[in-house]
Structure 1
Amino acid sequence: MGFAEKRGDYWRARYKLSSGKYGTVQDEDGATVRFRTRRAAEQAADAEEVKVREGRRRPAVNASMLFIDYVNRWYAEQDLAASTMQTYRRHIEAHILPEFGHLTMAELERDGRAAIVEWERAGRADYATLTVQGWRRVFHVILADAVREGLLPFNPASRPRGRGRVAGRSQARAPEKTITNALGVVLIAERMALLSGRDDEFVATVGMGFSGMRFGETVGLEAEFVRPGAIRVEWQLHELDDGVLLRCPPKDDSYRTIAVPSWLTALLREQIDRAGPKPCSCHGRTYVYRGHRPPRQGARQVGPRLTDVGRRAGVSAGTVWNALHRRDQVADATLQRVDAAVAELGYLVGSLPDGPTAPHWRRNGFATWLFGPAVSGWYPAKAPSPARPVPVLAEPWPGVPIRGRNAANRADACWVPVARDLTPHGLRHTYKTLMLGLDTPRPLMDLHMGHAKKTVSDAYDHVTADMVARLLEGLTVLWQNALAARRAMHPRSPVAVLDRLLGEESPA
């Protein structure tokens, strides 16, 4: 028996198809008919069911409708998270419509299942299996809605359960996630600061490695949420395809307060005091971190910067500027060191000064050109240049990256990998392993990671102050041991914040 379904300010008529599923009464163009009253919708639904029982009605109301027309209408009706809408659009426009957009619904009903199997098989030749499975999942969602609307009698993209080779499923597994340890976090953070020429990246990388924050949560960390002994995760910045950084809730609404050691809170407060952040123009919020390059469309400095020369000469950037422009105010010995650093690094006197930085990191800039080279010791390929080692000067240790022309020939060292294939998200996995090594109770680990409770039993798990204290004590010991191991490699660092930490005596 048909029935009426309330949809906001109208009713739609639902009736049972021969397949046992329910369809919706539609007009000649395939659009859902909106009834003003419940009674009218029920009458229309009953009339359609009579047609189905008498065999006078095909499941597809408009078999001549093009799939591309249906998809355009379907996508416009979705109201999902911006990141999900972006993923759907990317899969639809790049992979689904080019292959199936010209087909009618009747053709999809007749030939769709075989065509989808062949499409998926061809996709695996050029893409990872998990990637192709993502396309098919989106396709399945679209066609499932078409079935519910009565445009198709079944879903051609569905995959019957229990079919296929069980032994072959392992071939679709994701690669094993690369992790590092506490010392690896320190070494990577130091290299990132050397690549960017400032301390911001050191603090951010250490923060992710010892708090488990996601990259988007780190970029979106607002100064007001850095609290004594804790970081409050309220927002993240998610980068869309058009470059817009969307301020949105953390993934899966994982709002949480992460207890952090006092030394990490001190690093964050020092970062805020040093950077003096101001509200950004895009969100009007004050963030802990800012981008490391000039804003898009802005002037970009080419080659080494004053900070790079200062590190090489062992002086501040201000002293370098005075040595270049007010030589009478600088000691002769300092002038000689600065001049030697300028020659070695290829610094161009009179080049563009350090201008305003972008308000936020971009994922590509952070992961590809800072994090990737720091963990692997290699710059990625970018036409016309192939992948290449990061050219560095061996002194001061662990080596200062060289920029500018003929950098490779001027270098006298390169970096060995710290944790090849590690990604920024891998620091989140690293933090979880650190907690496991410290025998942290599962409720506290789930709280810090932002993982939701899944069972009734989980509702009875609670975090206590003693659990938190033991975790913070353990993380502090790991941090002190990592600094001691780094100090054993070399007692100093070109990175100012790490150099100060290495000079401090660790408590007994």
Structure 2
Amino acid sequence: MGYAEKRGDYWRGRYKLAPGRYATVVDTNGATMKFRTRRDAEQAANDAEAKVRNGGRPPRAAGRMTFAEYVNDWYARQELARSTMQNYQRTIEDHLLPAFQDFAVAAISPADVMAWEKRERALGYAEASLRLWRTTLHLILADAVDEGLRESNPAARRRGRGKRAGRSQKRAPEKTVTTGLGILLLAERAALLSGRDDEFLAVTTLGFTGLRWGELVGLETRYIRPGEVRVEWQLYELDTGELHRCPPKDDSYRTVHVPEWLGSLLTTHVAQTALVPCACHGHRYAFRGYGTANGAARRPGPKLADVAQVAGVSTGTVSNVLNRPRVVQEATRDKVTAAIEQLGFVCGAPTGTAAGHYRRNGFATWLFQPAATGRYPAKAPKVARPVPVAADPWPGVPIRGRSAASRAEACWLPIAPGLTPHGLRHTYKTLMVELGTPSTVMDAQMGHADGSVQARYAHATVDMIRRLLDGLTELWENALAVRRQLASGSPVAVLDHLLREKIVSQNSPQQAPGTEKAGPRIRDTGPDLLFYGRADRI
């Protein structure tokens, strides 16, 4: 229990910190509080001691405590997800400490916070980042207020104050989305860039399930079930490069219902791909990384030189068969093609042990962005440049190696500039809105929580889900039909099978002549103009 001490013409409050340790009640500047009456001093001492017993921090000389001292102690007391702790640490070390580390906690003013935010904005940081950093500062100083180190929070934003542009917390620049056909074409290009079918299925799954990136990377094979994908875990990539296995964002555990065709693609992929437990987590994941794992030894063959040796030709001839088949005699092409099939050689595929998981930056930068924009991004000393492709077969196979640009016959035009892997999640929500899907089903598929009274009384039914899956199936079939009008086959094996399988079914004997259903019409623009650029512009 606190007590009062007579000190000349005033009383001061004393309270117990720990056995044998006592402290004096002080104000926010660290000065001893002087009370006119004994009762007031005892009451203040009891309040301070109650805070200590309840696990709080006692009022102390905030005027002598710097922001750096306080925030280090504050961070050590947090027990949150590793991803959240990482984001806090990055914000504190990179943006808050450089500005406020020498300030006394009690001395930080609203003017200081506004000046700091203005300086950060002048450096060109995005508004979303500025909001995140100010929110973190607000949280830290709010705890300082609760602990008696301040009387108010200088990071609190007064309503209607500040510049008018960008005031709303609920608005943001437009997010790029695409269509069902756009998803299909992006998936095909990503597979052509990687040289394998995995990326076709990964992009298609993102676009037609709305999974977050971490949920796709962390999708274990045991959670792929007939007609559904269960979201139980995600792999979150930390700044250290470690992929942390943790629950999905906001604990959005859910069952995502998928169309029959997508479920079939996923189960076939799992069955045909030699998926082994990863070394880092010990689980089987549906999607492997692209590229060679760091430190992995390169396995012998099949390489371009192996194909050349089996076919009895030079490596340059093999390269011409892959990139410019029309300049090679038919007999030579047949020998090289037979050698490729015999060895199982895949053009552009990594020849080492594949990495266990996708990396966000590698996938977005070297597969997704070139597929969406038709251009490789800038990387010193190279500037951004078009993807050089051989025009045959359509939509063109990327050309690699020395003087690739000079050997190119065409380049890809953009499909959806500005689209990101997360933009496919926005695309999926947009497709569901276009299909008239009830909000209850959309929230369940996306993993969103709606706490309104209306949402509590609305429930997803089997018929609602069936209508959504039927709509997604129709979008997919229309996309395949348009793609088939552009070219009847594809260099991507899984898509080529889908295109040719549909052609066979349309021409089946059971269908009476003249009763074929008309497919979707495309613009009167040839495929070369629609998806190719001129080779001389590379």
- Whether TM exceeds 0.5 here: the answer is yes
Residues 1:325 and 2:323 aligned together: no
Deviations 1:425-469 (A, max 9, x none): 111111112112221122111111111131122111111111122
Distance 1:174 1:15, change over 3 A: farther
Per-residue Cα deviation, 1:170-193 (whole angstroms, up to 9, x for no partner): 699421011111100000000000
1:458 alignment counterpart: 455
Amino acid at match of 1:152: R
Q: 2:309 is matched by which residue type in structure 1? A: L
Stretch of structure 1 that moved more, 413-422 or 169-178: 169-178
Q: Note if 1:157 corresponds to 2:155.
A: yes
**Equivalent AA in structure 1 for residue 234 of structure 2:** Q
Match in the other structure for 2:10: none
Secondary structure in 1 aligned to 2:498? helix
Mapped contact 1:59–1:153 kept (Cα < 8 A):
no
Aligned partner of 2:421 in structure 1 is 424
Distance 1:70-1:364 versus aligned 2 partners, 3 A rule: same
Q: Distance in 2 between matches of 1:272 and 1:184?
A: 25
Aligned to 1:63, what secondary structure does the other structure show?
helix
| Aligned 8 A contact 1:376 1:419 in 2 | yes
The residue number in structure 2 matching 1:76 is 76
Amino acid paired to 2:179: N
| Deviation of the 1:168 alpha carbon | 5.7
Q: Shift in Å at residue 240 of structure 1?
A: 0.6
The whole-number CA distance in structure 2 between the counterparts of 1:219 and 1:356 is 18
Partner of 2:5: none
Q: 1:445 aligns with which of 442, 446, 461?
A: 442
Cα RMSD after superposing both structures: 3.6
- 2:95 maps to 95
- Aligned residue number for residue 362 of structure 1: 359
Contact 1:443 1:463 in 2 (8 A): yes
Task: Report the identity percentage.
Answer: 55
Secondary structure class of the residue paired with 2:245: strand
The size of the alignment, in residue pairs, is: 449
Matched ranges for 1:72-471 at <5 A: 72-108=72-108, 112-126=109-123, 127-166=125-164, 169=167, 173-298=171-296, 321-325=306-310, 327=312, 333=330, 335-336=332-333, 354-471=351-468
CA separation in 1, counterparts of 2:258 and 2:23? 55
How big is each residue's C-alpha offset from its partner over 1:461-501, in whole Å with a ceiling of 9 and x where there is no partner?
11111112211111111111100100000111000000000
Evaluate the alpha carbon distance shift between residue 115 and residue 409 of structure 1 in structure 2; reply closer, same or farther with a 3 A threshold: same
**d(CA) in 2 for partners of 1:60, 1:141:** 20
Amino acid paired to 2:310:
H
Q: CA deviation at 1:151?
A: 1.8
Could you tell me whether the CA contact under 8 Å between 1:235 and 1:250 is conserved in 2? yes
Query: How far did 1:334 drift?
Result: 5.8
Cα distance, 1:352 vs. partner? 11
Query: Residue 284 of structure 1 aligns to which amino acid in structure 2?
Result: G
Structure 1: state its 5+ residue gaps: 3-9, 29-41, 51-57, 310-319, 343-347
- Distance (Å, rounded) in 2 between the aligned partners of 1:16 and 1:135: 33
Question: Residues 276 and 16 of structure 1: is their aligned pair in 2 closer, same or farther, counting only changes over 3 Å?
Answer: farther
Asked if the contact 2:289–2:354 (Cα under 8 Å) also holds between the matched residues in 1, the reply is: yes
Unaligned runs of 5+ in 2: 3-18, 33-41, 51-57, 319-328, 340-344, 507-516, 518-538
Q: Deviations over 1:312-332 (max 9, x none)?
A: xxxxxxxx945533649x9x9
Q: Which residue identity lines up with residue 96 of structure 2 in the other structure?
A: I
Q: Distance in 2 between matches of 1:292 and 1:15?
A: 63
Relative to the length of structure 1, the TM-score reads 0.80
Q: Is the 8 A contact 2:288 2:354 kept in 1?
A: yes
Task: Provide the residue aligned with 1:316 in structure 2.
Answer: none
CA deviation map 1:1-55 (0-9, x unaligned): 99xxxxxxx9xx9999989xxx9xx9x9xxxxxxxxxxxxx988427599xxxxx
C-alpha deviation, 1:161, in angstroms = 2.4
1:167 CA displacement: 5.8
Q: Which residue of 2 aligns with 1:31?
A: none
1:367 Cα deviation from its structure 2 partner = 1.0
Q: Measured at CA, do residues 341 and 442 of structure 1 come closer, stay the same or move farther in structure 2, by a change above 3 Å?
A: same
Secondary structure of residue in 2 paired with 1:70: helix
Q: Larger C-alpha radius of gyration, 1 or 2?
A: 2
1:104 positional shift: 2.6
Q: Which amino acid aligns with 1:324?
A: Q
